[in-house]
Amino acid sequence: MANLPLFWQITVVVLTIAGLIYLLFLGIMIYYAKEPVKHEVMWDETLEEGQAPVPAWWFWSGISAAIFAILYMLFYPSFGNYTGLLSNGLISEKYALSKAATQDDYYRKTEKLEQTDIVHLQFDAEAMKLAKNTFVQYCASCHGVEAKGQPSFPNLTDDAWVWGSTVDKITQTIANGRKATMPAWGIPLGKDGVDKVAKYVLSIANNNYNEKTHGAGKAKYQQFCVACHGANLQGNPAFGAPNLGDSAWLYGGDLATVKQSIANGRNGVMPAHKDRLTALQIKLLTAWLSRNN
């Protein structure tokens, strides 16, 4: 407590010493109390709760700890502006030197990581460990510890990146976040139209398209969906329209869920992390995620 005002210095010292003395006095008085031990029968008439003192080793351990605390505060900086009998500024100086050395080592490593390109970072085991720890702290609650995703949150270990999986796109996604909206088509398509479009989309994803069975759904798709998802269902990363022809379904790929997505729409939000993460943390996350693709 450097430069502690005199009033607070005296307050801290008095309270600390008074507290230790009180605890010592209380412990000794309780342990050596001369009053007879009283017992009270509880519950099933076999369990007794009394006032027997703690074991001797426990008592003396507490006394020894209190004595050690007093001696420690005499010899080392412990309260107020008191520097301790053995200090003489040496401990503070050693601490300052140790802290400076630690900071210097830390910033050297940080500077090295900042200057290393993404590709080389991916082969740096220590850097990737740091990136994984950062991911677990900031991203795992949505995407899972192993980045495999969960319902409504995408798997980040495959190549089905809605907004693009290049280094620049991943960096932009982490830093600035993303917002994607799937309009509700339940009213324009009607119940039958929703069913036909869903079955057509799944037939392409499952590679079992049949013109006779799914042709009507294809026609509806080309009328309402092709502008965003493309003629070949390949999607459009420019505004977050996913590829519907693969097996990567963010909200679920069963017929009922796909119909729900078409009828009611979806709203996905990836929050921006540029104010929560440093530029280096974003770079490390980008290296780690792009390595997993």
Residue 221 CB-density burial (10 A; 0-12 exposed, 13-18 middle, 19+ buried): buried
Q: Which carries the bigger pLDDT value, residue 39 or residue 23?
A: 23
Domain 179-270 sits in CATH at 1.10.760.10
Q: What is the pLDDT of residues 251-262, one digit of tens each?
A: 999 999 999 999
Mean of all residue pLDDT scores within the chain: 84
Instruction: Please tell me the least confidently modeled range out of 89-98, 163-172, 213-222.
Output: 89-98
User: What pLDDT score was predicted for residue 3?
Assistant: 60
Tens-place pLDDT, residues 55-89: 778 778 888 888 888 888 777 777 666 667 766 55
Q: State how far the Cα of 49 lies from the Cα of 43, in Å rounded to an integer.
A: 10
Query: What pLDDT score was predicted for residue 111?
Result: 86
Type of residue numbered 215: G
Query: What are the pLDDT digits (tens) for 144-198?
Result: 999 999 888 999 998 889 999 999 999 999 999 999 899 999 999 999 999 999 9
Q: Name the pLDDT band for 109 (thresholds 50, 70, 90).
A: confident
* Euclidean distance between CA atoms 48 and 42, whole angstroms: 6
Please state, in angstroms and as integers, the Cα–Cα distance from residue 196 to each residue in 130, 201, 213, 218, following that order: 48, 9, 9, 8
Residue 27: pLDDT over 90: no
Higher-confidence residue of 121 and 38: namely 121
Please check the confidence at residue 104 and state whether its pLDDT lies above 80.
Answer: no
Of 35 and 168, the one with more pLDDT:
168
User: Distance between CA 1 and CA 30 in Å, rounded?
Assistant: 35
Q: Which of 38-42, 46-50, 176-180, 186-190 has the lowest mean pLDDT?
A: 38-42
Q: Give pTM, 2 decimals.
A: 0.63
Measured CA to CA, the distance from residue 140 to residue 226 in angstroms comes to 34
Instruction: Give residue 1's pLDDT.
Output: 41
CA angle (75, 80, 85) in 5-degree steps: 20
What is the reported pLDDT for 46? 63
Radius of gyration (C-alpha) of the chain in whole angstroms: 34
The answer to whether residue 98 scores a pLDDT higher than 90 is no
Secondary structure string (H, E, C) spanning 25-52: HHHHHHHCCCCCCCEEEECCCCEEEECC
Domain with CATH 1.10.760.10 in the chain: 110-177+273-292, 179-270
Higher pLDDT, 99 or 151: 151
In words, the CATH class of domain 110-177+273-292 is mainly alpha
